[in-house]
Amino acid sequence: MVVAPPASVLAELARQLVRALGPDAVLQAPEDVLVYEYDYGLDRHPPELVVLPRGRDEVVAAVTIAARFGMPIIPRGAGTGISGGAVPIQGGLVIALSRMNRILEIDADNLTALVEPGVVNLELSKAAEPYGLYFAPDPSSQKASTIGGNIANNAGGPHCLAYGVTANHVLGVEVVLADGTVLWCESSARERPGYDLSGLVVGAEGTVGVVTRALVRLLRKPEAVQTFLAIFNSVDDASAATSGIIAAGIIPAALEMMDQLTMRSVEAAFHAGYPADAGAVLLIELEGLAEELEALAPQVEAICAANGARELRVARTEHERALLWAGRKGAASAMGRVAPNYYLHDAVVARSKLPRVMRRVLEIGAKYSLPVANVFHAGDGNLHPMLLFDVKEPGVLERVLRCGREMLRMCVEEGGAISGEHGIGVEKRDFMSWYFSDADLGVQARVRRAFDPQERMNPAKVIPMPTSCGDTFARPRAAVVPTSADLWV
């Protein structure tokens, strides 16, 4: 059990933070810190204090002061994470980086941008557009999620099939360690010798330090884009078409799947042209040279037809394309038409196993009497089942958690992984032992302690807690209800 520091200690900590950062950068009233106790997931816990630094030096000051008091530090972006990675589950000091939102430089010649962590993902692409460039990682939350949060969770998105996840687009990061040391880590992608510390920071979920700047790769906008909506009577047929496209050596920029429950909600909300009577659709996007797309489009159409597609629609205008993507990226919000609450999960399996895994997902949902909507990155097997429920129903949260856990376990048994892009956080921390041995986890824990010996930086995240013996790691615990129903809005 975590014990909060005495009031006198907190008062002195707050005074020192106010002196260093100013009164408008320190939040301490319960009603002010309330919104920092949760992210987009189910877990909640309030912090003792929140600071909103304006630059690296203020981050250093906040981290150094927290170190004097032995206070846990929780870096936070926009709070759109789904695994509890930004939840201060042991209390502590939240460092909210939303004010550090400057694009410091766009270097069009070298195809890079230097940004602060609070820059919103989509805003970076908008700023790069006049140069004919864009930032490829595009999580569905890209209108709100920040580059710092993308780096923490190694975020992906629909277009990561062709272009890779955030790690493939980060060339360097500036990190403030737990003792206030500032470290600049450049990626081995820039042909630097030594360890790839930048690669270690990306995906570490804030457990090794606070990212204060990032040098990211920009891509040139493609000459041509063609977007298709392939309509199928079943998820099995859509899955077979997915495997067929990749097996033919065609790597679309995006290859997304929606099932019928999702489509019906999306169409009611966005009127994007999704057929409510179909069993599944594939949203397929090709990018490249115009001549290349002329050759690939007929191949994609033939593969879809051979696997039971009843129709292949083409977005004829940019408006039609934008509408299809608005429906895809707004799918989660559209679920409010089915149920007032949902729990969005994240796992990865081989494309060839999608038909069997998708059937099992629905069977597990039925076992727990929970509707399940599916919208996911079919091209790389990254599943996102949404468990739909009403939090006012007695006992439903425990049922939801047990259902999600069983789905994850099934994916691991099928040779998959417990996360493709949402991260581990606290939600999946104790499931890491399904995937890694004690030796694996022990090495990861030692690497973490090399950067943060006292483990104050985003504590109790990612790596399972050691047992009392110290040489093994905790196994998954029974599902617990993370918050009471009356706290939900």
**What's the DSSP call for residue 289?**
-
Separation of CA 224 from chain center: 28
Check whether 469 has a pLDDT greater than 60. Answer: no
Range with the poorest average pLDDT among 40-44, 70-74, 395-399: 40-44
**Residue 145 three-state SS:** coil
Range with the poorest average pLDDT among 3-12, 343-352, 382-391: 3-12
pLDDT at residue 489, as a whole number: 36
Report whether 416 contacts 347 (CB < 8 A).
Answer: yes
- Name which residue leads in pLDDT, 477 or 102: 102
The DSSP-derived string for 99-125 is: T---EEEEETTTTEEEE-TT-BHHHHH
pLDDT at residue 106, as a whole number: 98
Model pLDDT for residues 265-275, shown as the tens digit of each residue: 999 999 989 99
Report whether 319 contacts 285 (CB < 8 A).
Answer: no
The CA distance from 80 to 470, in Å, is 34
The CA distance from 248 to 299, in Å, is 9
The CA distance from 366 to 219, in Å, is 43
Average pLDDT over residues 346-360: 94
pLDDT at residue 147, as a whole number: 98
E strand segments, 268-309: 280-288
The CA distance from 418 to 415, in Å, is 10
Check whether 474 has a pLDDT greater than 60. Answer: no
Inter-helix orientation angle 56-68/7-21, to 10°: 160
Assess if CATH 3.40.50.720 describes domain 224-333: no
Model pLDDT for residues 113-166, shown as the tens digit of each residue: 999 999 999 999 999 999 999 999 999 899 999 999 999 999 999 999 999 999
**Residue 356 CB contacts under 8 Å (≥ 6 apart), including other chains:** 414
pLDDT at residue 116, as a whole number: 98
Report whether 389 contacts 420 (CB < 8 A).
Answer: no
Average pLDDT over residues 372-385: 94
Residue 189 confidence class, pLDDT cut points 50, 70, 90: low
Range with the poorest average pLDDT among 4-8, 81-85, 450-454: 4-8
Separation of CA 274 from chain center: 25
Average pLDDT over residues 207-221: 97
CATH for the stretch 103-220: 3.30.465.10
Check whether 108 has a pLDDT greater than 50. Answer: yes
* Pick from 161, 109, 110: nearest CA to 137: 161
Q: What mean pLDDT is reported for the chain?
A: 92
Report whether 146 contacts 97 (CB < 8 A).
Answer: yes
pLDDT at residue 186, as a whole number: 84
The CA distance from 459 to 301, in Å, is 50
Check whether 479 has a pLDDT greater than 60. Answer: no
* Pick from 12, 180, 13, 8: nearest CA to 92: 13
pLDDT at residue 316, as a whole number: 94
**What's the DSSP call for residue 118?**
T
* Pick from 287, 284, 266, 401: nearest CA to 338: 266
* Pick from 108, 190, 103: nearest CA to 147: 103
Assess if CATH 3.30.43.10 describes domain 7-96: yes
**What's the DSSP call for residue 395?**
T
Average pLDDT over residues 189-212: 88
pLDDT at residue 1, as a whole number: 53
Model pLDDT for residues 157-188, shown as the tens digit of each residue: 999 999 999 999 999 999 999 999 999 998 75
38, β-bridge pairs: 44
Length of the chain: 489
pLDDT at residue 481, as a whole number: 40
Residue 68: count other Cβ atoms within 10 Å of its Cβ: 11
Give the containing element (helix H, strand E) for 59: helix 56-68
- Name which residue leads in pLDDT, 489 or 412: 412
Give the containing element (helix H, strand E) for 7: helix 7-21
pLDDT at residue 482, as a whole number: 47
**Residue 39 three-state SS:** coil
Tokens representing 169 are 């687009």
Residue 80 confidence class, pLDDT cut points 50, 70, 90: very high
Residue 413 confidence class, pLDDT cut points 50, 70, 90: very high
The CA distance from 324 to 293, in Å, is 19
- Name which residue leads in pLDDT, 32 or 489: 32
Map out the domains of the chain as residue ranges: 7-96, 103-220, 224-333
Model pLDDT for residues 288-335, shown as the tens digit of each residue: 999 999 999 999 999 999 999 999 999 999 999 999 999 999 998 899
Average pLDDT over residues 229-249: 96
Report whether 408 contacts 431 (CB < 8 A).
Answer: yes
Model pLDDT for residues 278-293, shown as the tens digit of each residue: 999 999 999 999 999 9
